[in-house]
């Protein structure tokens, strides 16, 4: 069962906070999110209710036995949150990019080992994300988790933010000890796309989800298009498929091992072929050198792209994937040919 955090993008009224807290606790969810200081990209938008809303969250913790989590972006936020007894904090994507702000938050937290969730920075920079976690850890925060919320990009895609799944997966490889959450709301940007993103995160082995929900999403003061209605949240939770990180069944383990052995064999043959290809490539390189022909021949590259895409289609492999693979192989070939120049 993944760890679920749910709640509105922002706390908007005492009634909204209460209604949602009642819903969340009835669904057996333990952590209630709500933004009270909202980082907005452009000015003159709803920026959260600030201190006023803090007491509502503190109340909800008592009434429903929930743990509230809010976003903090500076030392003052941290101090106010701690004073109000807020159980958990998160660092937002626009704060993770700034080591000064993260350090300020870490310093304000010294001596208080409260759980902190760190969203990925808005730019696709894994070191910055890890660096933020390290700053907090060095300040004595031991209950850390990372939250993948997608990355800004100029090109328009169907999601609000680029997921760049390879980044959280590399994060997982480097830091398997840190629980990984996904915020499908801020990746998707649209209600209808949230189930797909949430399921993908669970399929990849994320430990938790942080989801935005609002009693009347169309009326929400921020992130209206991506907040789920209470019924949509219930529907989502009922339909998510949970996976285990590993399997106890010995027969399944054995079968998995057999298939992995097969993959190992194929990969070894594949590598040997690739090495063979590079050898031929270097021979072509010598020929080009002796005859002073340029290493890059765009007609040949076009031909390779066309043939390989066609062969890929014939073999039932995604031509786009093969294109990317051959771009790498071709670049390496040219590097090998021109080596020593
Ligand atoms: C949020 O969770 O409401 C939020 C502002 O998130 P992010 O920092 O991912 O933009
Ligand atoms: Mn939001």
- For 229, list phi and psi in degrees, rounded to 5: -80, 165
pLDDT tens figures, 237-257: 999 999 998 999 999 999 999
187 alpha carbon, closest ligand: 1
- Give me 184's structure tokens: 């499908």
Mind listing the domains of the chain with CATH numbers? 3-239 (3.20.20.70), 250-339 (1.20.59.10)
Task: Output the CA 102–ligand 1 centroid distance in Å.
Answer: 15
pLDDT at residue 340 tops 70: no
Q: For the segment 174-216, what is each residue's pLDDT rounded down to a tens digit?
A: 999 999 999 999 999 999 999 999 999 999 999 999 999 999 9
Helix (H) or strand (E) holding 69: strand 67-71
* Nearest atom within ligand 1 for CA of residue 186: 9
The pTM score is 0.89
8 Å CB contact between 173 and 184: no
Query: Which run of H or E residues covers position 208?
Result: strand 208-212
Atom 6 (ligand 1) nearest CA:
92
Which residue has the CA at smallest separation from atom 1 of ligand 1?
9
Instruction: Collect all residues with Cβ–Cβ distance below 8 Å to 4 and sequence separation of at least 6.
Output: 29, 30, 31, 208, 209, 211, 237
Mean pLDDT of 302-330: 97
The predicted model gives 313-321 an average pLDDT of 98
* Residue corresponding to tokens 């759980």: 115
Mean residue pLDDT of the chain comes to: 97
The rounded distance, in Å, linking the Cα atoms of 265 and 261 is 6
Task: For tokens 């040219």, name the residue.
Answer: 334
């Amino acid at each position: 069962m993944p760890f679920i955090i749910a709640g509105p993008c922002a706390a908007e009224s005492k009634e909204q906070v209460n209604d949602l807290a009642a819903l969340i606790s009835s669904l057996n969810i333990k952590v209630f999110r709500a933004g009270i200081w909202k980082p907005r990209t452009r000015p003159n938008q709803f920026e959260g209710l600030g201190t006023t809303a803090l007491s509502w969250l503190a109340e909800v913790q008592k009434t429903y036995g929930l743990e509230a989590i809010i976003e903090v972006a500076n030392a003052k936020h941290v101090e106010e949150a701690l004073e109000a007894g807020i159980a958990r904090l998160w660092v937002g994507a626009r704060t993770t990019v700034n080591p000064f702000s993260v350090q300020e938050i870490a310093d304000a937290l010294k001596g208080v080992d409260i759980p902190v969730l760190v969203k990925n920075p808005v730019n696709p920079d894994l070191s910055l994300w890890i660096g933020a976690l390290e700053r907090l850890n060095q300040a004595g925060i031991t209950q850390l988790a990372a939250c993948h919320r997608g990355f800004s990009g100029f090109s328009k895609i169907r999601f609000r933010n680029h997921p760049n799944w390879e980044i959280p997966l590399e994060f997982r490889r480097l830091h398997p000890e840190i629980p990984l959450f996904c915020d499908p709301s801020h990746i998707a940007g649209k209600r209808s796309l949230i189930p797909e993103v949430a399921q993908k995160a669970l399929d990849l082995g994320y430990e938790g989800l942080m989801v935005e929900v609002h009693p009347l999403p169309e009326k929400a003061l921020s992130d209206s298009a991506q907040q789920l209605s209470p019924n949509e949240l219930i529907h989502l939770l009922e339909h998510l498929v949970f996976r285990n990180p590993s399997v106890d069944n010995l027969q399944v383990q054995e079968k998995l091992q057999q298939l992995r052995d097969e993959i190992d064999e194929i990969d070894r043959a594949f590598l040997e072929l690739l090495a063979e290809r590079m050898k031929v490539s270097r021979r072509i390189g010598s020929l080009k050198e002796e005859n002073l022909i340029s290493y890059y021949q765009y007609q040949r590259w076009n031909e390779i792209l066309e043939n390989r895409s066609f062969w890929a289609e014939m073999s039932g492999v995604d031509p786009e994937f093969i294109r990317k693979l051959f771009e790498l192989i071709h670049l390496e070939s040219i590097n090998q040919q021109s080596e020593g120049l």
